[in-house]
Amino acid sequence: MRRNCALARDAMERAKREKFAIGAFNIDNQETLVAIARAAHKKNSPVMIEVSQGEVDAIGIHNVRDMVDNYKEEFDLEVYVNLDHSPSVEAAIKGIEAGFEFIHIDISQANKDATDEEIIAGTKEVVEYAKLTGALVESEPHYFAGSSNVHTEAIDYEEIKKTFSTPDGARLFVKATGIDTFAAAVGNLHGKYPVPKKLDLDLLASIRKAIDCNISLHGGSGTPGHYFHDAVKIGVQKVNINSDMRVAYRKTLERVLADNPTEFAVVKLMDEVIAAVQEVVEAKIDQFNSAGKAQKAC
């Protein structure tokens, strides 16, 4: 575990130095994992496989670790596991003990009324426990808007701006908690919306100047690719993608099922579904400038 976490730290330093971001792709099941593995292999890109609490409950935290390790070996990948939006210190500790290289502790996501003191205290506790393996800890000092779904409402940017990160706020939070990665809010929000998202790149650049640690962008789905090209140049090391993959998965599955009404062996119908998700992942890898950046463990 410690060696894997050391490699993960090296990967983030490499991303910072070489100006690319590692895509953190959520999985709902084995098919999405296969799609990510194939894309990473084809593009020779480092990737993160991530699960939030719902996926942990459905798949099992140790099953996730074992599945990723199996495909890591099969495809010869540089791949890490991220526990995304862990809702409590206890849940985050389980991820650390399961050997996840990246842990996102999100006190405010689970408890939107959490005080600054509660968020800092919980985050510090996870940072301290992560020394057990050397896992990298990510957090943010505020509730992050949206959800990993398809939204029909328009984006109210005047409301969203109230939750934007600030350079001073980021600097103080990083100093108070000792986190490895700061989850910045600069117009990115979870889910897909009727209109493309808009990122405040000037604000992102100001945050980058204010902190030395890694920066991640959540809610990457539905964001025009040119924002990612600029974000990695500014200094983002990690981008989370979920909803874009889920939409490709479901729409393709619905079409394939409709085209094959008498086939009940669903496993025989999954090739097109996996290919559709793989296409999404490959496109993101190109936008994150991570193609050709994988380094395999010796």
Q: Which domains does the chain have, with CATH numbers?
A: 2-287 (3.20.20.70)
Q: How many CB atoms lie within 10 A of CB 41?
A: 18
Report the amino acid identity of residue 147.
S
Output the pTM of the full model.
0.94
| Cβ contacts of 194 within 8 Å, gap of 6 or more | 151, 152, 153, 154
The one-letter amino acid code at 174 reads: V
Q: 65 and 99 in contact (C-beta within 8 Å)?
A: yes
Question: Does residue 84 carry a catalytic annotation?
Answer: yes
> Residues 69, 76, 84, 106: which is the catalytic one?
84
**CA–CA distance, 291 with 298 (Å, rounded to integer):** 20
Q: What is the pLDDT along the chain (298 residues), one digit of tens a residue?
A: 999 999 999 999 999 999 999 999 999 999 999 999 999 999 999 999 999 999 999 999 999 999 999 999 999 999 999 999 999 999 999 999 999 999 999 998 778 888 999 999 999 999 999 999 999 999 998 766 666 667 777 777 777 888 889 999 999 999 999 999 999 999 888 776 767 788 999 999 999 999 999 999 998 888 999 999 999 999 999 999 999 999 999 999 999 999 999 999 999 999 999 999 999 999 999 999 999 999 976 5
